[in-house]
């Protein structure tokens, strides 16, 4: 007979063994007991020392941080569509003064400050970058020229350089040799190709584009100017070809190409003797700048 005694604990007859409980140790002396809350605070402080980022407000854990080697970059905003941004202005006092000083205007030149306009417009250079250029043209074709060069910009036809000829002290030869696209120039006596009153350039109704890629036969030396490097008409950067983009754009606006008896691939004008184009429609893209203040330079 088993001498271990059991006692019923529950009404269903289940039994549990009596187990003697060890008496709890008496509390320690007052002042030496470390409260549980303080122990937890000390443990948390040690954790912060070991891992400072874990305690920083809003700190990332390994789960929500970037993967090793990943670099966060800001999402780029879309770039605005490039524009030719043409602006037609009156010739400024400073520019007109320079034109007079360099003899680009003198007695006998048909155009005046009042009849000329300054067209500021963007163009694509030979590196594919956008540059700001200036053409001085007759007021009666300013909007027409604005449409032409706006189209060339959007078609990304490259232009090497575009600045008024007074930047070359009025020297047309220097402008051509610098591959500069320009319009108005009442040329020096030793550089004129036509009587001033009839000359398209002297009236601001002619444009020479990329002279190096589109040379002409200079009647004075019967040689290619500024160079014979691109005398042969083959497709290339900045080259003007009959039936091509530049030719078509000017022809559609009423201009004439090579209006001379010798090859002059750079040259477009509105007719000889100089006349306005017959259909000078207002440009929907050009804006008109403020008029300049008067100056004391002579003007016929």
Cβ proximity of 207 and 264 under 8 Å: no
* pLDDT score at 48: 52
* pLDDT score at 194: 78
* pLDDT score at 256: 96
Which two tokens mark 149? 């060069």
Q: Which residues of 46-55 are buried (b: 16+ CB within 10 A; e: fewer)?
A: eeeeeeeeee
Cβ proximity of 249 and 112 under 8 Å: no
d(CA 138, CA 276): 9
Cβ proximity of 163 and 133 under 8 Å: yes
Helix (H, G, I), strand (E, B) or coil at 145: helix
* pLDDT score at 11: 42
Q: Tens-of-pLDDT digits for all 300 residues of the chain?
A: 444 444 443 444 444 444 444 445 455 445 455 555 556 656 555 655 555 444 444 444 444 444 444 444 455 555 578 999 999 999 999 999 999 999 999 999 999 999 999 999 999 999 999 999 999 999 999 999 999 999 999 999 999 999 999 999 999 999 999 999 999 999 988 887 778 899 999 999 999 999 999 999 998 889 999 999 999 999 999 999 999 999 999 999 999 999 888 999 999 999 999 999 875 443 433 444 443 333 333 333
Q: Is the pTM of this model over 0.85?
A: no
Length of the chain: 300
Cβ proximity of 111 and 99 under 8 Å: no
The sheet with strand 287-288 has its strands ordered as 130-138, 116-124, 87-90, 287-288
Helix (H, G, I), strand (E, B) or coil at 16: strand
In the chain, the largest separation of any two C-alpha atoms, in whole Å, equals 147
> What are φ and ψ of residue 8, in 5° steps?
-65, 140
Residue linked to tokens 């549990």:
16
* pLDDT score at 163: 98
């Amino acid at each position: 007979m088993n001498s271990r005694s059991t006692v019923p604990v529950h009404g269903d007859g289940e039994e549990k063994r009596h187990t003697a409980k060890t008496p709890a140790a008496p509390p320690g002396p007052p002042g030496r007991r470390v409260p549980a809350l303080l122990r937890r605070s000390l443990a948390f402080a040690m954790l912060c020392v070991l891992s400072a980022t874990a305690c920083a407000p809003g700190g990332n854990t390994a789960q929500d941080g970037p993967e090793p080697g990943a670099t966060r970059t800001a999402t780029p905003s879309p770039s605005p569509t490039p524009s030719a941004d043409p602006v037609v202005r009156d010739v400024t006092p400073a520019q007109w003064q320079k034109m007079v000083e360099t003899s680009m205007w003198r007695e006998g030149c048909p155009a005046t400050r009042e009849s000329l306009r300054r067209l500021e417009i963007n163009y694509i250079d030979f590196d594919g970058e956008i540059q700001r250029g200036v053409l001085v043209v007759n007021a009666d074709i300013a909007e027409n020229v604005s449409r032409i060069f706006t189209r060339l910009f959007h078609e990304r036809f490259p232009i090497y350089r575009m600045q008024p000829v007074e930047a070359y002290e009025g020297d047309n030869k220097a402008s051509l040799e610098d591959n500069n696209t320009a319009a108005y120039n009442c040329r020096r006596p030793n550089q004129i190709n036509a009587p001033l009153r009839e000359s398209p350039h002297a009236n601001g109704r002619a444009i020479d584009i990329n002279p190096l890629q589109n040379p002409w036969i200079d009647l004075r030396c019967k040689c290619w100017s500024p160079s014979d490097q691109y005398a042969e008409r083959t497709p290339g950067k900045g080259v003007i070809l009959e039936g091509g983009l530049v030719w078509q754009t000017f022809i559609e606006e009423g201009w004439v190409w090579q209006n001379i008896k010798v090859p002059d691939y750079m040259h477009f004008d509105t007719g000889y003797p100089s006349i306005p184009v017959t259909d000078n429609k207002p440009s929907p893209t050009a804006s008109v700048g403020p008029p300049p203040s008067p100056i004391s330079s002579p003007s016929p």
